[in-house]
Structures are given as C-alpha cells and as structure tokens.
Chains A and B, each alone.
Chain A
C-alpha cells in the first residue's frame, strides 16, 4: 500500500506564474488535508477536503489559492500568480475518514521556490 504521494517534490516558478501541486492520498483514504510549512513558522493548516467537497478552507489565503479533490484523480493545490512569499514546503496528509481517533498520514511534501 503506497503512502501519500506528492508531486512534484521540487517546483520552481517565476513570479506571476501558476503552481500546481498534486497529492494522491493513500488507498482507501477519502480525506485530504493541505498544510504549508514556512521556515521558522511550523506547520500551518490550509484546507481540508473530502471527495468533491471542501470541508474547511479557513487557512487558505483569500486570493490566488484554490484546492480541489475530484471524484477521480489526485487532490490539487493551485497557486495563481505566485509571489516570493509563497516559497515554502507544502504538505498533504490523508486519512480514511474524518474520525478524530484517526491519525493522518503525510506525504513527502512539495518544495516550492519562487524566483
């Protein structure tokens, strides 16, 4: 059973370009979480999705950021018109359900560098 797969592992974008980060949850997992890790700032929650639904996007910036988890295929975190401040590691986690007893499993992350 493969773990949570994120790609690409490293992504370089110029300011103003779009960044697309992909996350394939573990097999059988229908819940996906995205987190951003900035240097010296720890892990910040961004969004929680189930298949075809956004459950909690309270951590998403109001502009330029969007996320989806379609019925088929991976979850996508999309950042439009990237700026230098978007440079960070973005982690995806998945769980089989929204049960608070259940821990989430993390991917290796995508390191975005905006130049």
Chain B
C-alpha cells in the first residue's frame, strides 16, 4: 500500500529565510508526486508535480521541490519565505505500476512564516 509521511506538524520560519517542508513516500513502481497548498477555509491548490525527468521541479509562487529516489523524499522548498506563504501544505503520491491507483495525501504540514 502506498503512503506519504509529513513528519512535521508545523514548520516555523522567519520571513526572508529559506523554508523546507518535508515529505517522504512509499509506493510501488515509479512515483508520481504532488504538492498542494490550502489556505484557511479554502480548497487545495495545486503547486507542483514530479512525473519524470529533472529531479528539481519548479512550481507556483516560487516554490520548488526536489525528488530524491534513494531517500524516497520529495521536500518542498522556497529560497525566501513570505508571510503570505503561511498555510497548510499537503504532499501526495500516486503509484505507476499496474492500472489505476488512487492519490494518497499526507496529513499536512502547517507553515507559519513569522514577520
């Protein structure tokens, strides 16, 4: 069974500092990996995805994520955090082996950017 772990319930970072939100996964076959962001009382917004190719994926709002196959990780990063980045971030994975597989989401990490 596939799974996603987001080991940190909350990440605090000062405005202007780099941020990292961690994600590790377990899946059969090659992974398809996604990051979503959720602002209060809103739905999830797609940020970026890794399907194949370059391990460093660039997405919306200056975010990027690095796929590391050996560590089965897909950490979300941004060089300089903004207060407006404060939100709930979800990592998700989908397997590629054998037919249909649903997307599995992590529990979410709350990012707090401190002015």
Task: Count residues of A near B (Cβ-Cβ below 8 Å).
Answer: 26
Residue of B nearest to A42 (CB): B107
Q: Note all chain B residues with C-beta closer than 8 A to A45.
A: 102-105
Asked if A108 lies at the interface with its beta carbon under 8 angstroms from chain B, I say: yes
Q: Are A101 and B32 in contact (CB under 8 A)?
A: yes
CA gap between A23 and B106 in the complex, in Å? 23
A103, B57: Cα distance in complex, Å: 15
Given the known interface contacts A56-B100, A98-B100, A100-B101, the answer about A43 and B43 at a Cβ–Cβ threshold of 8 Å is: no
A-B contact count (CB 8 A): 55
Q: Is B94 an interface residue, CB under 8 A from the partner? A: yes
B51 contact set on A, CB distance < 8 A: 100-101
Whether A35 contacts B100 by the Cβ 8 Å rule is: no
B40 to chain A, nearest CB (A): 11
Digitize B77-103: 1 where CB-to-A-CB distance is under 8 Å, 0 elsewhere. 000000000000010001110001111
- Of A4, A41, A48, A100, the residue contacting B43 (CB under 8 A) is A4
Considering only residues 81-115 of chain A, those with a C-beta below 8 Å from chain B are: 91, 93, 98, 100-101, 103-109, 111
- The answer to the question of B44 belonging to the interface, with a C-beta cut-off of 8 Å to chain A, is yes
Interfacial chain A residues near B104, Cβ < 8 Å: 45
A104 neighbours in B (Cβ, 8 Å): 46, 103
Residue pair B94, A91 in contact (C-beta under 8 Å) = no
Take A33-B103, A48-B102 as given contacts and tell me if A42 and B32 are in contact as well, using a CB distance cutoff of 8 Å. no
Q: Specify which of B32, B44, B95, B104 lies most central, judged by the most chain A CB atoms within 10 Å of its CB.
A: B44
- A43-B90, A48-B100, A100-B101 given. 7 additional CB < 8 A pairs? A42-B107, A43-B105, A45-B105, A93-B44, A101-B51, A109-B42, A109-B43
Q: Which residues in A have some Cβ–Cβ distance to B below 8 Å?
A: 4, 6, 33, 35, 41-45, 48, 55-56, 58, 91, 93, 98, 100-101, 103-109, 111
Across the A-B interface, the 6 shortest Cβ-Cβ residue pairs:
A42-B107, A106-B43, A43-B105, A106-B44, A108-B43, A100-B32
